[in-house]
Chain A
C-alpha cells in the first residue's frame, strides 16, 4: 500500500467564504493525501467543511489559497473547461439525493457520463446495460427514476458513477436518504466495485458506521482535518463522535446561528 502513488494531495488548503461582511473560514489549512485505490472517508458534522473540501477536490470550487494535485494535475491552476474534461475522464459522483434526470430512463441516466464524453450510442448503451446488471437492476433499465425506490435510484446513481471507469469516485452522504438495510447494501456494493476496479473512493459522511468501510478516516471539524485510527473511531479527538440525530440537528442550528 505504501508503494502506491498519491492520487490526491493537498497542501495547506484554505477556503474563506464571505457572507455579507462576515468572513467564514470553511477550510483552515487542510493538508492530506489519498493514495490510488484507497477508500477514504471524510467524517464530520455539517458545517465542518467536509463538503467544501469535497467540492474543491472535485474541482467544483477553488481554494482561497493552498495547493491541490489531483491525478497529477494542479487543479487550482486549471481553467473551468480543462477541469470539466478532467472530471469527465477521471471522476465519478454519487449524491445523497441521487440526482438522476427524471425524464431519462435508468439506462439513459447511467449512459450520461459517456454521452458527455462523446461515446457513440450503441457503445454507451452496452456499457450502461452491463453496469446496471452489476448493480442488480438488469430488469429495470427502461424505468424512470420516479418508478423506482430510493435504494434502486441510488444503485442507478452508483452505476452512473462507475460506468465511465473513473479513477476516483466521490460519494457525498451516499446513504443519507436510505434506511439501514439499504444503506448496508449500497455501501457494500460501492466498496466492492471500488476494490474490483482498484479505484479510489472518497466518501463524505457524518455517520461513523459508514466510516467503518474505509481504509483511512479523516475527521473534520472547524475546517481542520485530523486522521483517525479505525480502532479509535468511537474515541475521536472530540469524543463521542457518533452524534445522535437530535444532536445532529442541534449542531446544524448552531452552524446556522454562527452564519
Chain B
C-alpha cells in the first residue's frame, strides 16, 4: 500500500465518527493547552526574575570584592590590584574586565554644584560593559590619564546652588537638559565638604581639578533608577584621591560612601596581612568582570573565588531564585502532565472502541489482501492524526490563554499573579510550542500502539464470522 493511501484511509476513518473524534481531540487539546499554559507560567516567572534582576545590573556582569572572611577554602588571599585584573583577564570566557573605585564628591559648575559618584574605571574597557551612550561618546583607550569623563543623564538636573541643593530629581522621558552638558566647563574636588559654606580652617583648602565631559549616557527607561555619577579614568581618580589624602595629612579617607545594596563598605586596605604577597595591597574598591555568555557566569565566578576574592553577580541571584521556584514550576508542569496522560488514555480508549466496531472491516481488508503492516500503519496514523490535530489546536488555545492571563495581570489582577512587580505572567516561547506539538503527536502514536497491534491480531475468519 502506498503511504499516501494509508494516510487517506486513516483520515477518512478519523472524519467518519465526527462526535467521537471531536471529543477525543478535545481531550488532547485540553491536555496540550494545560501543559503549555502551566509551563508558560513557569517561563514567565523566570522571565520576571530575569527582568527584575537585569534592572539591578547586567546578567553577564560579576563584581569582585576583597574577601572579608578568611580567604577562600584553599587559604589563598586575593588582592584587588593590577595583577589580579590581568589574572582575571586571562580566564576563559572573560569578555571584559576593569578595576573600579567610587567616591562621593561634588561636581562643580561655576558657583553651582551637584553631589555625584565619581567612578574610576579602565576607559579602554568601557565599551564592553553595556553602557548606552546618549550624547557624545564613551571613554576609550585614548582617555587614559586624561581628565575626560562621561556622566549619567540625570546629573545636569542636579547641578544647583549649594544653598538650595537638589539631591534628587527624576526627569520625565526625553526631558531636555537645562544646558548642553558637553559644552559646560566642570571642576571636581575630592573634598566632600566643598561648597558647604563652612570651612575647617585646620584643613587645607579643597583643590579643584578641571574636568571635561565627553559623553552623556542615555536616559534610563521609566521607573528604572538612574545613578547620578560621572565616570573617568581609574588611575586619575586614584591619583586625585592620594593627593587629597596627602593634603589631609594621610589620616583621613573617611569620605567614601558606597551605596550598593548588600555590599559591606569598602575602602582600599593593605591586604590581609598574610605576608607572602610582599608589597601587594588592595588598590581598587572592586573589579568588574563581563563574561561572554550568561551560562558561563558561574564558572568564571568560581574561578575568581578560587583566587581568594569574593564575588557577586545578578546571575547568581537569578539562579538562586530560579532554584527556589523550581519545585513550584515542577508542580505546574505535573498538573499539565496529568491532563495530557488522561488525553492519552482517551485516545487509546477511542481506538480500541473503533477496532471493536470495525472488526469486520479489518477482517475484510485482510482477506482482500491488505498486509498486516498496512493495517497497523492505518491505526497508528489515525491515532497520530488525533494527536497532531489536538496538539495544533491546543497550542493555539494556549497562546490565547497566555494572552488572557497577561491581560488579567495587567488589568487589576496583577496582585494575584505578579512576581516582583512583573506584569508578564505567561510566556509561550517557540520551543515550548514546538515541543508540545511533538509531544502531542508522539503521545497520539504511542496511545495507538496497543490498539494497532490488537487490530493486526484479529483473525480474518472470526471477523467475517460474526454476521
Contact = CB atoms under 8 A, between A and B. Distances in A.
Contact of A116 (B360, B368, B461, B464): B368
Interface stretch (A5-13, A96-104, A191-199): A96-104
Interface stretch (A83-91, A129-137, A204-212): A83-91
A84 B12 contact: no
B460 interface: yes
Interface string B276-309: 0000000000000000000000000000000000
Interface in A110-125: 112-113, 115-118, 120-121
A61 interface: yes
Contact of B371 (A91, A93, A116): A116
Contacts of B9: 115
A55 B461 contact: yes
B461 A84 contact: no
Interface residues of B, number: 24
A142 to B, nearest CB: 15
A225 to B, nearest CB: 20
A116 B374 contact: yes
B13 interface: yes
Contacts of B460: 60
B76 interface: no
A253 B374 CA distance: 39
B361 to A, nearest CB: 6
B364 interface: yes
A60 B368 contact: no
Of B373, B374, B464, most buried by chain A (CB within 10 Å of CB) is B464
B467 A84 contact: no
Contacts of B370: 84, 116
Contacts of A116: 1, 365, 368-371, 374
Interface of A: 55, 58, 60-61, 80-81, 84-85, 87-89, 91, 93, 95-97, 99, 101, 103-104, 112-113, 115-118, 120-121, 160, 164
10 contacts: A60-B460, A81-B372, A85-B371, A93-B367, A95-B364, A101-B365, A103-B16, A113-B369, A116-B369, A121-B5
Given A84-B366, A103-B12, A121-B5, 16 more contacts: A60-B367, A60-B460, A81-B373, A84-B370, A85-B369, A87-B368, A89-B369, A97-B467, A99-B464, A101-B365, A113-B368, A115-B9, A116-B369, A116-B374, A160-B368, A164-B369
